[in-house]
Amino acid sequence: MKSIVFAAAFALGSSQAFAMDSLSDLKWKNRVVIIFGASTDPEAGQQTVAIKEQTSELADRDMVVLRVSDDEVRPVYGKSPRVVDAQALKKDVGVEDDGFHVVLIGKDGGVKLRSERPVGGLEMFDLIDRMPMRRSGRR
């Protein structure tokens, strides 16, 4: 039983430690939303528009939003990180195909939300607002 608990804890810790290798300059400063999908993907477009409409909420939560499409990483909102390779980013967060995905990465570099359907701002912001760092007042 102890080995199962240890293995689960190790796996969780490992995914958090490596989730933001390609975005390390944002760690402990920003939460990052990454929208994956082809430039013509309607769900990726819908997610991008929905996020862009939430600028005050994004600013209040120290967020950066990136769009990854057609092997290109483009900033949607917030301070643009250094040059990021789209394939490395996909690998870092565990996206293995070219379909639509939205991923939320916490300030600690861990993946906090992963979805293959568009996520509403309320759902995402509620999740962030329940995070210990946000609740402790460290934004």
Render pLDDT for 102-130 as a digit per residue (tens, 0 to 9): 999 999 999 999 999 999 988 999 999 99
The confidence score (pLDDT) of residue 70 equals 86
Cβ(123)–Cβ(117) below 8 Å: no
Cβ(62)–Cβ(31) below 8 Å: yes
Taking residues 51-80, report their average pLDDT. Answer: 93
Cβ(48)–Cβ(102) below 8 Å: no
At 137, the pLDDT band (50, 70, 90 cuts) reads low
Average pLDDT over the chain reads 83
The confidence score (pLDDT) of residue 37 equals 97
The domains located in the chain, with CATH, are 2-135 (3.40.30.10)
At 136, the pLDDT band (50, 70, 90 cuts) reads low
The pTM score is 0.82
Structure token digits, residue 84: 């990021």
Round to whole Å and give the CA distance between 98 and 106: 23
Residue where the block lists tokens 């701002």: 121
At 13, the pLDDT band (50, 70, 90 cuts) reads very low
At 36, the pLDDT band (50, 70, 90 cuts) reads very high
